[in-house]
Each structure stands twice: as C-alpha cells, then as structure tokens.
Amino acid sequence: MDIQVSTTPIEGVLVVQPECFRDRRGLFMESYNRRKLQRHGIDLGFVQDNHARSFRHVLRGLHYQNERAPQHRLIRCVAGEIFYAAVDLRVGSPTFGQYYCAELSSENLTQVLIPPEFAHGYLVLSEVAEVHYKCTAHHSPDVERTLAWNDPDVAVPWPVAEPVLSRRDVDAPSLRDYLANPCFYAREPVARS
C-alpha cells in the first residue's frame, strides 16, 4: 500500500491520496502513515487530532493560528462531502491572497495538507459531514485568527451564497485588515555559494 502526493498551483499545499482497498465488505485504508509521508519528503510531528461534525450549508472558516502557534493541517472528510478552501497568507508570496479549493468526501478519500501560513475552511455539501484533521501544534485560543469567508479580495467560489455561520466567522476581518498586522511572510530563497 502506498500513497500519492500531488502539488497544487499554490506552493506548499499538497493533495494526499491514500491507497484504498475496496471489496464487497467495504473498504480499508491507512489514513495516516508517517513513513509513507516521509518517503515523499513530508516529515511532520502531529500532536493533535480534531474531529468536527456539521450540517448542510454550515461554513467553518477561514481559520488559522498566528505565528506563535502555527499549525500544519492534514484534512480529510470521513463522512459526507465538503467544499474545502485554503488561502495563502504569506505576504510577498506570488500567490498571496489566492485560494486552493477541493471537494473532499468519504467517497474520494482525498486529503489536503496545508502549511501554517494558510487560512482554511469548509462548507458542508451533504446533509451531514464529519471532518477530521491532524495538527502539528495544539489548539491555542489566544492565537486563533479568522479571515472573512466572503472577502471580495479573495473571492473563494463558495457554492452557497448564504451559509450557516458562527458569530466569530460573521465578524471576521478582511484580507486588507490582515495586511495591517500580518502574521506570515514569504520565505526568501536561500542563496547558494
């Protein structure tokens, strides 16, 4: 059993496709295997797993933790279907403010790995969806941040115009607000001698 790891148009965002065995009994897959990810150059120390259950048209996001407790996240949908989005927050990056989107479901088993410098969120497309994600830093409410899900400068193409939102997500700041006090910057290429 192996996995496939694919790049996306936004540097750092990766799609992970585990190998899955299906037969008349159902399916079996390894949802996470550190050695297999290491063979693809991914060596992350995950410290926390999160599991969320949400109902149709609930939108959670766009969330991130600032530079004091940044998190890589490996996201998958274990039941139902979601529309997933990640937004580049690296000031100076050629893709700053751009998004990567994917449909994740219990059928396609696709996972997305995003670096800490990205805000992320998802919209539930099915009646109910359960989302699981691994994190490389513990949840820290004091460094939790949110980016407006409907910011016109980002323009994520959410498939629902009026999602169900938390108060936190309704009041989230814009990308322009983020620029007043950014958390993340693009890394300078290392000079070779």
What are the catalytic residues? 63, 133
Q: Is 148 exposed, middle or buried (0-12, 13-18, 19+ CB in 10 A)?
A: buried
Residues 99, 28: contact at Cβ < 8 Å?
Answer: no
Residues 166, 138: contact at Cβ < 8 Å?
Answer: no
Which has the closest alpha carbon to 3: 76, 70, 53? 76
Q: Say how many C-beta atoms besides its own lie within 10 A of residue 181's C-beta.
A: 8
The rounded distance, in Å, linking the Cα atoms of 169 and 60 is: 7
The rounded distance, in Å, linking the Cα atoms of 57 and 82 is: 9
